[in-house]
Amino acid sequence: MRHALLVFSFCLLPSLSHAATKAPHSHGSLGAHEHGTARLDVALDGQTLALDLDSPGMNLVGFEHAPTSDADRAAVARAREKLTAPLELFNLPAAARCSVTRQELLSPLFGNAASDHDHDHDEHDADAHHEHSDVDGHFQLHCEQPQALTGLDLARFFTTFPSTHKVLVQAITPNGQVGLDATPDNSKLAF
């Protein structure tokens, strides 16, 4: 039942999202592929915390093309390693005693996913060498003391990935829905 509620919660998030922040070239219900901007959906149900990150690869590795050099491959490996530590990256309170039970990182940059942002016939097709590669991170955590989860702080995310200037955060918790257009100067979301 809890899994169904989490899935249902994530299905609702796009319809409740920041429609006003969509750029003119948006693709799908999750909004535009906008360099410097990422999206984080959060759902807390009982002791299960789900985090769903969607970011242009440019924000995390500095490029979106397939890695072709040793430097490119090293940048991808560094970003992937940093993303595998969601407890630190999202600065969850230690008192919540959360542990990662499942995580999945998908991206054409990692060689394990096709780009969700293929274009039919827009202006980006004029440059056949320019592709959009997003990084999707799906994290599920078990929190022994979920009442200690009073929010999250993205300050470490911004310092870890300085090319990210804004994260559109939506959260569904037992206290209701909250959202924040997080920036390095405004990185804390209370829920």
Contact between 101 and 140 (Cβ < 8 Å) = yes
Please compute, for residue 84, the number of CA atoms within 13 A of its CA located in the half-sphere on the CB side.
6
Nearest C-alpha neighbor of 50 from the set 95, 94, 13:
13
How buried is 157 (Cβ within 10 angstroms: 0-12 exposed, 13-18 middle, 19+ buried)? Answer: buried
Contact between 140 and 50 (Cβ < 8 Å) = yes
Contact between 171 and 179 (Cβ < 8 Å) = yes
Task: Give the single-character DSSP code of 132.
Answer: -
Q: What pLDDT, on a 0 to 100 scale, did the predictor assign at position 64?
A: 87
Q: What pLDDT, on a 0 to 100 scale, did the predictor assign at position 16?
A: 40
Task: Give 77's contacts (C-beta < 8 A, 6+ positions apart).
Answer: none
Cα–Cα dist 11/26, whole Å: 18
Q: Is 50 in a helix, a strand, or coil?
A: strand
Predicted structure pTM score: 0.77
Q: What pLDDT, on a 0 to 100 scale, did the predictor assign at position 82?
A: 97
Q: What pLDDT, on a 0 to 100 scale, did the predictor assign at position 10?
A: 47
**From the first residue on, what is the mean pLDDT of each consecutive set of 10 residues in the chain (191 residues)?**
45 40 34 83 98 96 91 95 94 95 95 54 39 90 96 96 98 96 97 90
Q: What pLDDT, on a 0 to 100 scale, did the predictor assign at position 17?
A: 40
